[in-house]
Structure 1
Amino acid sequence: MANIGRHDEALKAVREATKLYRTLAKHNPGTYTPNLASSLNNLAGSQAENGQPHDALQTVHEATNLYRTL
């Protein structure tokens, strides 16, 4: 969606995906933590594209910390 200029919709979708992966990773971290980290990385990109650099920085730090545990 972001590729066609629908940044707000893309941000909403990636937030929802991240929320779902958080729940899945909580219950099955070995399987879903990589997906959560990837989703957080996508969320950070969407936040940056939507003029939310502070939020993007926090989100990418969270993703980086998760990647380090893998």
Structure 2
Amino acid sequence: MILSLVQASDSMAVLTFNLISLTDDKPSAWNCTEVYRLENDGKRKIIQTHWPFTRPRLVGME
């Protein structure tokens, strides 16, 4: 996880980060966003997630 950031209020939180994954030894770069809601039982539940590829592609990701 690279450049992670959490922005939170009493009942919501947004996590953003970059991720580089490997598939068949080929790297893929992602911009990741996840939105959490605080449930009545005190646990946080993901209510939205978004994982687009990083644009422009990072150098060396060809």
Task: Tell me which interval the TM-score lies in, with the shorter structure as reference length.
Answer: under 0.3
Specify which structure has the higher proportion of helix: 1
TM-score (norm 1): 0.22
Specify which structure has the higher proportion of strand: 2
Higher relative contact order (CA closer than 8 Å, sequence separation 6+): 1
TM-score (norm 2): 0.24
**Rg larger for:** 2
